[in-house]
Amino acid sequence: MSKVKVAIIGSGNIGTDLMIKILRLSETLEVGAFVGIDPKSDGLARAARLGVPVVTTGVRGLLDHPDFGDIRVAFDATSAAAHLANDAALRDTDIKIVDLTPAAVGPYVVPPVNLDEHLGQRNVNMVTCGGQATIPIVAAIASVATTRYAEIVASISSRSAGPGTRANIDEFTETTSRAIEQVAGVRRGKAIIVLNPAEPPLIMRDTVFCIVDDCDRDAVTSAVLAMEEKVKAYVPGYRLKQDVQFRRITARSPESDLIPEAPRGERWVVSVFLEVEGAGHYLPPYAGNLDIMTSAARQVGERLGAAVAAR
């Protein structure tokens, strides 16, 4: 079967890493156009050296590209603001869009949680790096225990936070918080991001903190471990740092004020500690926050491409 042609919009770190992942790993996708606006960017130069068709005039240039009619999926790795314009420019086409920005024009998608139900959408959103790392775990816990509150903390190296990430900090927290509720099915979600300036740089680390009603702790642990394996299938550097932690909430626990409306009875804090090491395709291994985004996007793109090819 011939490969499905895709376009990658955005020639920065995320777009370039995604391009290399598709070139090296994908058996179903082909990069038909790599799109940027800075002809001198390293990403565009690298794409040209690899023989990938390059567009240096943004989405408008992509629309005029001679092979534009063959493009079936477009990945947008620009910014939240730029994505709104890019989505509008592609709206009258048949192209499926995988949005790696926090713009959230389309529904949130986290591959092992809800990809199947959104394969028919024109535009899907990849949430954020913190969302991709933690929402699978929150969803796993919520699948076996009534989860009233979930809080995640994503700690990433400041070296891996480029201009786009820094410009979208507010969007990160808002988008991830909403996605925790909508995708994982939690009543209340909260997200925090920490840019860690440590040298040498530390890899991405995430904490998942859930408040649940009385639960089967073995079932919760089994669900978390099963989800870890599902994510690891497309992000090999994804792993739990230690066993799932449980702590009973008492009347004096500070967490008791987070969900005052909850019924009486035993409640527990479930804590999961994760780290994500990057594959080192284009970005350094400590940039697991970027690697999980591009790995998840490739997973979604392959499934969308297969759905298009099957028509």
211 is in an annotated binding site: no
Instruction: Answer whether the bond into residue 200 is a cis peptide, omega within 30°.
Output: yes
Residue 165 counted as an annotated binding residue: yes
Dump strand ranges (E) for 92-243.
96-99, 123-125, 147-157, 189-196, 204-213, 238-240
- Tokens 């939690």 found at: 186
Using the Cα atoms of residue 50, residue 278, residue 11 and residue 124 in order, give the sign of their dihedral.
Answer: positive
| 256 labeled part of a ligand binding site | no
Task: Assess contact for 4 and 308: CB atoms under 8 A.
Answer: yes
Q: Which residues are identified as catalytic?
A: 129
Using a 10 angstrom Cβ sphere, with 0-12 exposed, 13-18 middle and 19 or more buried, the burial of residue 77 is buried
CB-based contacts of 305: which residues, under 8 Å, 6+ apart? 4, 6, 28, 29, 72, 73
Q: Is 167 annotated to bind ligand?
A: yes
Q: Is 162 annotated as a binding residue?
A: yes
Confirm whether residue 152 is marked as ligand binding. Answer: no
What's the rounded Cα separation, in Å, for the pair 169 and 150? 19
Going by the annotation, the residues of the binding site for NAD(+) are: 11-14, 160-168, 289
